[in-house]
Structures are given as C-alpha cells and as structure tokens.
Amino acid sequence: MNDLEKLEQDLLQAVAASGSVASLEAVRVDALGKKSSISLLMKRLGGLSLEERKEKGPLYNKIKRRIEQAIESRKVALEMAELGAKLAAERVDVTLSARPEGEGRIHPISQALDEVLAIFGAMSFAVAEGPDIEDDFHNFTALNIPPEHPARQMHDTFYLPGERDGSQLVLRTHTSPVQVRTMQIQKPPLRIIAPGRTYRSDSDMTHTPMFHQVEGLVVDEHAHMGHLKGCVTEFCRAYFEIADLPLRFRPSFFPFTEPSAEVDIGCLRKDGELKIGGKGDSGDWLEIFGCGMVHPKVLEACSIDPHTYQGFAFGLGVERIAMLKYGIPDLRTFFEADLRWLRHYGFAALDIPSLGGGLSQ
Ligand code: DAH
C-alpha cells in the first residue's frame, strides 16, 4: 500500500469511527480543512511539473471526493441515530397518571346564583341586567321613592360626585332599577330575573358594602298575588331542596309594591344550630324575600298602562340564601378571598349545576 492509499484508509477509518455529529465534524476539519494532509498535497501540486500535476491532480481530487462522500453519508446516519435516540427519550407515556393539578373552586355566590337562575330559567324567566352605577330616577324616583321619601334613609346610599346639572349618580342600592330599565324598553308580557351586585354604606357582622341580589318581575294582564305566592314557594322549595318547606307571607311595606309582603321560611334552631325546614309552627321563621304587586305608579313611570297591566316583583339577597343553604356562618368571609375558605365552602368546577342540586356535591 502506498502512502496515499494509507492516508485515505486512515481517514475513512476515522470517519467510520466517529460516534457523533460533533466528533465527525472534528474529523472533517482534520481531513479536509486548510491544514489537512490533503490540502497540503493539493498546495504542493503547484510546484510539480505539468506531467506530475496531470497524474496526481485527479488522484488527489478523487481521494478528496471519496472522503467527502464518506463524511456526508456518515453524517446522515449519525443524525438519524441521534434523532431516533431523542425521540425515544422524549416519548410521552400516555399511560402515566396525571400530575396532581391545583383545582379551582366555584365561589358559593356563583354557585347559588347558578342555582337560582336554573330554577327561574325552568319557569321561563329571562335574565335581565342593568348598570351598577345608576341615576336617581331608576334607583329611586321611578320606584315610587321620590326625594325626601323616608325610604331613601333606609338605603345607606353611596353617592358619586355631583354632575354639572346638580344631579348625582349612585351605586345602585338594590337590583330593583333593572325592573324599571326592562319595562322602559320591553312591552308586557314580561318575565325577568335580574341578578347583580348592589351597594350600601354599611359594614358589620351581617352587612357588607357590596352584596348580591336577584330581582324578579312578572308583568302581564292577569298576574296576581296567587301567582306570586306560587312562584316564590316553588322557588324556595327547589332551591333549599326541601319539598315541604313551610313558607309564610307576612304583610310588609315597600314603596314600589302594593300590597307588599315579606316571605319567611320555616327553620329549627337547636343547640346553636340552624336547620332549614322543620315545622314552621313549632320552630322559627327566617325572612328571605321581599315581594309584592308592582305599584301602579311604577308601571306609570315606565309608560305601562296600569289599567291594562299588572304584575308582581320580588327581591332576595344571594349571600343570605347561600349562607342558609350551605351553613356559612359569617357574611364577611365571602369577600375575604381566603383560599382555605374557598377550598372548604367552594364547589367543584366541573359539576354542571342541576336545578338547585348543590347539596348533593
Ligand atoms: N329592593 C328591595 C330591597 O333591596 C327588595 C325588594 C322587595 C325587591 C320587594 C322587590 C320587591 O322587587 O317587590 O330591599
């Protein structure tokens, strides 16, 4: 074997022996780079005679090409092998059990609202909404609470800075203005439910400056007190999941309804525990609803003829019914954003709310 053949064989061996794309690259620089033996030979060609150049030139070039080809095919093989190894190492094992993920919880207010809307939805009520910032007309005047009316003092109103025209916007003190807004833009028959935030400047064990209400309104030519009673009774029994829940309608006063009533549900208090249901007569009563027949002046304020149409309305506090159903003792905890509290009182996110089905969770 002459020197040239030996050189070629050595280089081909080095190519075959390289075990990675990186080491092959080192071999390439060694074999074909500027300082490689082949480059040196090529350089020396210039100093040879024409005859010799004719003989050696093609020879060197052939060797060079063979080595280039060997490197190229080795490179492809190595790349394939490296890809295969990577794929094998990164393969996803779909049979592995999932890593535990922190699971979010549904806040009891959202849960209670979902249940309330599902129950009234099944009675064909549509959801209506209004703004949190209200004007005096919608929050008070149209609801038969004119300026200087003592009922205004009952609402500890948050006022916004006065407008240029002297009027003052308020944070709505109840969801009743949504009644007005709905009647102003829709003609009877109406059957709506309006959930939302409400605000009063009040804060203690049983009051928070922001809380939630759900307002109901039915207006048509024939709606009467019997319908109101049936509707409210039906709702309470579905929501509390107690088929024979005792209810009591107690005469009351609201400026926007006449006659007005407050609705109490039967409960039993025993050893400091409160149990919804039980016998109303032998136990206690808990107030949960305000309601009544829509006052003719309210209909008039919304351009609905009170001689043709009549209706009933009701309002309830969402925190209150959530506390009662789910045994949450302190109202303020709803808004403290304490994750431990939410984990304890919250609801699983993926359970679709059934009609008042929260107790089974
Ligand atoms: N708006 C009343 C409140 O916040 C609740 C209420 C009572 C609403 C009677 C009504 C109703 O629609 O008829 O105290």
Percent of the chain at pLDDT > 70 equals 95
Does residue 39 come out as left (phi exceeding 0), alpha (psi in the -120 to 50 range) or beta?
Answer: alpha
Question: How far does the centroid of ligand 1 lie from the alpha carbon of residue 218, in Å?
Answer: 14
Is residue 253 within 8 Å of 260, Cβ to Cβ? yes
pLDDT at 273: 77
pLDDT at 279: 64
pLDDT at 231: 97
In short, whether 176's Cβ falls inside 6 Å of ligand 1 is: yes
pLDDT at 356: 47
Measured between alpha carbons, how far is 82 from 63 in angstroms, rounded to an integer? Answer: 28
pLDDT at 353: 53
User: Using one digit for the tens of pLDDT, what is the confidence trace for 56-102?
Assistant: 888 888 999 999 999 999 999 999 999 998 988 888 888 988 888 77
Measured between alpha carbons, how far is 299 from 309 in angstroms, rounded to an integer? Answer: 8
Work out the number of other CB atoms within 10 angstroms of the CB of residue 191: 19
Question: How far does the centroid of ligand 1 lie from the alpha carbon of residue 201, in Å?
Answer: 17
Question: How far does the centroid of ligand 1 lie from the alpha carbon of residue 154, in Å?
Answer: 12
CA angle in degrees (0–180, nearest 5) for 28-31-33: 75
pLDDT at 308: 98
pLDDT at 42: 84
User: Using one digit for the tens of pLDDT, what is the confidence trace for 165-202?
Assistant: 878 899 999 999 999 999 999 999 999 999 999 999 98
Measured between alpha carbons, how far is 223 from 320 in angstroms, rounded to an integer? Answer: 27
pLDDT at 44: 86
pLDDT at 348: 86
Q: Which runs of consecutive H residues, i.e. helices, occur in the chain?
A: 3-17, 21-32, 37-45, 50-89, 108-122, 136-139, 151-154, 177-185, 225-240, 296-301, 318-326, 339-345
Closest CA to 180 of 218, 212, 142, 214: 142
Burial category of 243 from C-beta neighbours within 10 Å (exposed 0-12, middle 13-18, buried 19 and up): exposed
Does this model's pTM top 0.75? My answer is no
> What is 108-357's CATH superfamily?
Bira Bifunctional Protein; Domain 2 (3.30.930.10)
β-pairing verdict for 257-270 and 273-276:
antiparallel
Does residue 126 come out as left (phi exceeding 0), alpha (psi in the -120 to 50 range) or beta?
Answer: beta
CA angle in degrees (0–180, nearest 5) for 207-271-359: 65
Is residue 122 within 8 Å of 235, Cβ to Cβ? no
Instruction: Give, for ligand 1, the residue of 314, 318, 320 to mutate: max count of ligand atoms closer than 8 Å to Cβ.
Output: 314
List the residue whose alpha carbon is closest to atom 13 of ligand 1: 291
Burial annotation 286-296 (CB, 10 A radius, 16+ → b, else e): bebbbbbbbbb
CA angle in degrees (0–180, nearest 5) for 326-192-123: 65
Cα 323 off chain centre by: 22
Instruction: Give, for ligand 1, the residue of 154, 193, 215, 319 to mutate: max count of ligand atoms closer than 8 Å to Cβ.
Output: 215
In the numeric block, the tokens 């009182």 are attached to 345
pLDDT at 99: 84
Closest CA to 139 of 172, 183, 181: 172
Strand partners, 270: 273
Q: Which runs of consecutive H residues, i.e. helices, occur in 308-361?
A: 318-326, 339-345
Give pLDDT < 50 ranges for the chain. 280, 356
In short, whether 196's Cβ falls inside 6 Å of ligand 1 is: no
